Structure 1
Amino acid sequence: MWLKVDGFVDKVRSWWEAYTFRGSPSFRIASKLQVLKLDLKKWNEEEFGNVESRMCKLWKDLNDLDLIADCRPLTDEEILEKDWLRTELEKVTLMEEICWRQKSKALWIREGDRNSKFFHRIANSHRRFNTINNLVVEGELTSNPSSIAACISLFYK
């Protein structure tokens, strides 16, 4: 998983260089960042998918094999599949833990205190600060969420 970093940097560089916008330097950078964000989201979905749903499916498949093993001995193929499922489950669990660590930006996650009230407060506080409360729309400052959403959706078209 970590060996893909060099290829990832090259991919981001090629995306960045392919974007062309006209306008002031600040407008061009802001526009490139917006498009890059969309490309990164798309790449993340293609590369990793939904980690939680993937983990649920792996647990279900592993549980199904355990139920089969209770009834009869597993075939060689089923034993290989069970080993593969365990390996994939470890990878997905690690990816989920990394995701939580990045969301919390707290070092104590290494001690396994993922489910504490404090951890979830930190993770959710980052989400709260990533909002637009006020915006100048048609020359007037507004805090109306529908006006802000309409203005932003026009910008992305």
Structure 2
Amino acid sequence: MGDFNNVLSKNEKKGGLPVKNYETKDFVDCVASLDLLDLPSTVDFVAPGCISDHTLAIVSMFEQRKQLPKQFNFFNMWTMYDDFRELITANWKFCGYGIAQYMLKQKFLALKKPLQTLNRNKFSSISARASAMKNKLENLQLKLLEDGDRATNYAEIQRQTVIMLEAERMFIAQKAKIPYLKQGDRCTKFFHDLIKINHKRNAIISLTRLDGSICDDPKDIADCFVEYY
């Protein structure tokens, strides 16, 4: 750990003159070119007291923690499936009684497993699937240029390739939270790194309880939220 005399963004500085973009550009470019990411950490500051005007900073680095079960996420790319509407209609049902909110929840739960199966069978490893379809289409196109024979299923393969490439674009755009992602930028290293950065930035690695104690265990953090609200 060292003092770089600069920050990666204006949000990392408190007090003093505001940070200008030109001041951080070199540092940001250096971190990006070296493919570096911030370590998950917390910083606690201790009052300096009357002996020194320097504040003691306690930095805690967190090791890789046990991953909790992933929450269910709806991916927009699933809507590209030909029979998506029929799948939703067939499973949007609940045989029982209760308040409207409870019945709605049960209908969503009934969709969870069919959508997971759809993702596993049709959209898992979406980048690899899209690349394979693209290569298959290009091989057919080269064959057409060489001998003039057009495969009977050419139109269907072309259609499926377009669907796979669009599904891949939707997946990356959603994971990176960039709605304006262009097709020309699909699957570049920048966007995959951005997905990892967003995941780390959104993670809550520690909380300070009302009594001042700090918890960093994922279960304790969840319990703190429940207890507070």
Give the TM-score normalised by structure 1: 0.51
Give the secondary-structure state (helix, strand or coil) at the position aligned to 2:119: helix
**Paired residue for 2:121, among 2, 25, 46?**
46
2:175 maps to 103
1:64-143 pair list within 5 angstroms: 64-74=139-149, 78=151, 80-110=152-182, 112-114=184-186, 115=188, 117=190, 119-128=191-200, 129=202, 134-135=217-218
Report the 3-state secondary structure (helix = DSSP H, G, I; strand = E; otherwise coil) of the residue aligned with 2:148: coil
| Bigger share in helix | 1
Identify unmatched segments of 5+ residues in structure 1. 19-28, 142-157
Quick one: structure 1 residues 81 and 48, their matched pair in 2 at CA, closer, same or farther if it must change by over 3 Å?
A: same
Q: What is the RMSD computed on CA atoms of the aligned residues?
A: 4.2
Q: What are the superposed Cα offsets for residues 79-102 of structure 1, whole Å, 9 maximum, x if unpaired?
A: x32232222111111111111111
- Secondary structure of residue in 1 paired with 2:136: helix
Amino acid paired to 1:124 = K
Q: Relative contact order (alpha carbons < 8 A, sep ≥ 6): 1 or 2 greater?
A: 2
Bigger CA radius of gyration: 2
CA deviation vs aligned residue, 1:131-155 (integer Å, no higher than 9, x gap)? 886245xxxx7xxxxxxxxxxxxxx
TM-score (norm 2): 0.38
Whole-angstrom CA distance in 2 between matches of 1:48 and 1:39: 13
Give 1:140-155 correspondences, 5 Å limit: none
Q: Deviations over 1:4-52 (max 9, x none)?
A: 56545445644xx58xxxxxxxxxx9xx97x976654323112434322
Percent identity reads 18
Instruction: Pick closer, same or farther for the CA change 1:126–1:39 going to 2, 3 Å.
Output: farther
Structure 2 gap ranges (5+): 1-79, 96-104, 206-215, 221-229
